[in-house]
């Protein structure tokens, strides 16, 4: 069946009054973005508290649906057949043809639910329901009506044209990106951080990202992997501004001057500081990490406290209560898993101690950092100035 329009259903919570415009405009914008690379011509617009996508030219309905399934804010996608209004006899034919094609197995129950948006139409919605229901029953002897719990709720909307639809394909839910500000994701090449970015963005938050690499200890391939991950995440979030920080000199300096069991924590504190620097520069309202309590030594409650100690922006950790398997399930769903498990080295793994502290003391960590006084400001400045920034889409 060739569907010419997609009716977009979105959640109602939190979008009353003035916010509704913002929400709908952001949704329209994000849908346009998602369809940019899909073959076909698409007209996305809002009308009477609904959002529609009209399709023209050569397009594949499955491609359109796949793209729409990645737009946060969409709760359901209804593929619509549009019929010209050529009188009620023709409408009966159109509706039976629709049922015949969309439901080849007629051992089902149905109900017609019509809406008369065009008030001059010669039949009331009750009459439309009854007469179309009769026509369908006549056409297919097996089919039955169930007004309470039908298998198929056939919607017929009479406007200038007539819209016929019955399927609702689930969307990702959430809120359209751009309705809740922007945050800075600390994006590594691992499994967790892309998922963390996805989850926060799902609530309407635009993303920027910072990646720390350590050439020559980490390769170009490791960097490319992070760019690829950002690209995969951006299919949901829209364009991501990615900052690639050369972290080598800071890491070497920490290695040289600080106790080795504290390396990871001190390094993570510098990551947070640098990410926060870029976050503030671009009006991001928070930082995002893929941390989860107890996953590794640097993610115990004490380690998280020590890392958090240097942040002034709120740090969002959407995976904090997730087990690894639960994170993997989301990674698979959003298609980042296969890329995340490619075996390239990470900057954190190069300078790790054999026995890192698992219960760091914040005071002691601050003291250890004093050993960096001589050069750290200069190195921080250089790291920021030599950062490579690109927009991933």
Show binding-site residues for ATP: 186-187, 211-212, 268, 290, 299
Q: Which stretch binds Mg ion (CB under 5 A): 142-150, 186-194, 229-237, 350-358?
A: 186-194
With CA atoms as reference, report the closest residue to 135 among 120, 154, 107.
154
- Give the nearest residue (CB) to ligand ATP: 190
Q: Closer to Mg ion at the Cβ: 78 or 327? A: 327
Q: Which does 248 bind (CB under 5 to 8 A by kind): Mg ion, ligand ATP, none?
A: none
96 binds, among Mg ion, ligand ATP, none (CB under 5 to 8 A by kind): none
Query: Do 298 and 263 form a contact (C-beta atoms < 8 A)?
Result: no
Give bridge partners of residue 308 from the DSSP assignment. none
Q: Which is nearer to ligand ATP, 133 or 290 (CB)?
A: 290
Shortest Cβ 190–ligand ATP spacing (Å): 2
Residue 347 touches which of Mg ion, ligand ATP, none (CB < 5 to 8 A by kind)?
A: ligand ATP
Q: Which of 272, 221, 263, 266 is nearest to 245 (CA)?
A: 272
Residue 349 beta carbon to Mg ion: minimum distance, rounded to whole angstroms: 8
User: Which range binds Mg ion by CB under 5 A, 129-137, 183-191, 264-272, 326-334?
Assistant: 183-191
Owner of token pair 């800075």: 184
Q: Please check whether residue 172 is in contact with residue 130, taking contact to mean a CB–CB distance below 8 angstroms.
A: no
Q: Is 206 in the site for Mg ion (CB under 5 A)?
A: no
As measured in angstroms, the least distance from the Cβ of 4 to ligand ATP is 42
d(CA 326, CA 348): 23
Least Å distance between CB 192 and Mg ion? 7
Long-range contacts of 87-93, Cβ-Cβ distance < 8 Å, separation of 24 or more: 88/122, 88/123, 88/131, 91/132, 91/156, 91/162, 92/131, 92/132, 92/135
Token pair 């508290």: residue:
49
| Structure tokens, 306 | 């020590």
Cα 377–Cα 378–Cα 382 angle in degrees, nearest 5: 120
Q: Is 190 in the site for Mg ion (CB under 5 A)?
A: yes
303 binds, among Mg ion, ligand ATP, none (CB under 5 to 8 A by kind): none
Question: Of these partners, Mg ion, ligand ATP, none, which one is at the site of residue 276 (CB under 5 to 8 Å by kind)?
Answer: none
291 binds, among Mg ion, ligand ATP, none (CB under 5 to 8 A by kind): ligand ATP
Task: Tell me how far apart the alpha carbons of residues 100 and 105 are, in angstroms, rounded to a whole number.
Answer: 8
Nearest to 170 by CA among 37, 75, 275, 31: 75
**Cβ atoms < 10 Å from Cβ of 9:** 16
Nearest to 238 by CA among 276, 198, 278, 193: 198
Closer to ligand ATP at the Cβ: 126 or 389? 389
Give the nearest distance from C-beta 194 to ligand ATP in angstroms: 7
Q: Residue 188 interacts with Mg ion (CB under 5 A)?
A: yes
User: What is the contact surface with ligand ATP in residues (CB under 6 A)?
Assistant: 186-188, 190-193, 210-212, 271, 289-291, 295-296, 298-299, 346-348
Which residues are at the interface with Mg ion (CB under 5 A)? 188, 190
């Amino acid at each position: 069946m060739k569907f010419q329009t997609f009716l977009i259903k979105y959640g109602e919570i939190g979008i009353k009054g003035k916010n509704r415009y913002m929400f709908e405009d952001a949704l329209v914008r994000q849908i346009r973005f998602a369809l940019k690379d899909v073959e076909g011509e698409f007209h996305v617009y809002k009308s009477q508290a609904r959002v529609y996508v009209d399709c023209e030219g050569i397009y594949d309905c499955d491609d359109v649906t796949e793209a729409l399934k990645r737009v946060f804010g969409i709760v359901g996608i209804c593929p619509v057949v549009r019929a010209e209004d050529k009188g009620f006899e023709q409408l009966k034919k159109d509706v039976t043809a629709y049922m015949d094609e969309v439901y080849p197995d007629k051992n089902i129950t149905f109900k017609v639910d019509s809406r008369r948006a065009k008030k001059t139409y010669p039949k009331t919605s009750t009459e439309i329901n009854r007469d179309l229901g009769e026509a369908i029953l006549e056409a297919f002897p097996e089919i039955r009506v169930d007004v309470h719990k039908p298998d198929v709720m056939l919607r017929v909307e009479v406007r200038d044209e007539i819209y016929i639809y019955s399927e609702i394909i689930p969307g990702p839910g959430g809120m359209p990106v751009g309705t809740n500000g922007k945050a800075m994701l600390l994006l590594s090449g691992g499994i967790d951080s892309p998922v963390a970015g996805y989850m926060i963005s799902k609530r309407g938050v635009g993303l920027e990202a910072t990646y720390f690499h350590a050439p020559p200890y980490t390769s170009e391939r490791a960097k490319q992997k992070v760019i690829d991950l950002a690209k995969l995440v951006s299919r949901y979030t829209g364009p991501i501004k990615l900052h690639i920080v050369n972290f080598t000199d800071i890491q070497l300096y920490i290695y040289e001057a600080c106790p080795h069991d504290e390396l990871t924590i001190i390094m993570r504190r510098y990551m947070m500081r640098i990410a926060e620097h870029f976050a503030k520069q671009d009006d991001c309202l928070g930082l995002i990490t893929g941390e989860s309590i107890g996953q590794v030594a640097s993610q115990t409650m004490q380690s998280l406290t020590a890392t958090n100690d240097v942040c002034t922006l709120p740090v969002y950790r959407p995976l904090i209560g997730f087990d690894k398997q639960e994170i993997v399930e989301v990674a698979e769903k959003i298609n980042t898993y296969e890329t995340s498990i490619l075996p390239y080295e990470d900057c954190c793994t190069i300078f790790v101690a054999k026995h890192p502290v698992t219960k760091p003391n914040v005071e002691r960590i601050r003291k250890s950092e004093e050993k960096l006084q001589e050069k750290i400001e200069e190195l921080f400045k250089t790291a920021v100035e030599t950062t490579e920034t690109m927009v991933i889409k």
